[in-house]
Amino acid sequence: MLCLFCQGTMQKSKAPFSLDRKGYHIFWDEIPAWVCTQCGEPYFESNEVELIQNAAAAVDKETEQFKKSGTEG
């Protein structure tokens, strides 16, 4: 497998991932990924992408609860 950016070799490893959206920030230190040995660019497989999306959806839902509780009373 070759990196799309630099054509370096990809190696199974772990990489950080951060997400900034809808008033919150999430940072994971180590998500399984393919990481380029030359430039360090990470590529996440579909399973990890789905887990990230599910986690973000859950936090979106909880964030909405914060917003609603802030407007009551």
Whether residue 4 lies inside any domain: the answer is no
How many structural domains comprise the chain?
1
CATH number at residue 67: 3.10.20.860
Whether residue 1 lies inside any domain: the answer is no
The pLDDT tens digits of the residues spanning 5-50 come to 999 999 999 999 999 987 889 999 999 999 999 999 999 999 999 9
Question: Strand pairing of 10-21 and 42-43?
Answer: unpaired
Whether residue 27 lies inside any domain: the answer is yes
Whether residue 61 lies inside any domain: the answer is yes
Say if pTM beats, i.e. exceeds, 0.85: no
Q: Which domain holds residue 17?
A: 10-71
**Distance from C-alpha of 72 to C-alpha of 60, rounded to nearest angstrom:** 19
- Reduced DSSP (H G I as helix, E B as strand, rest coil) percent helix, strand, coil of the chain, to 5: 35, 40, 25
How open is the CA angle 11-38-15, to the nearest 5 degrees?
Answer: 50
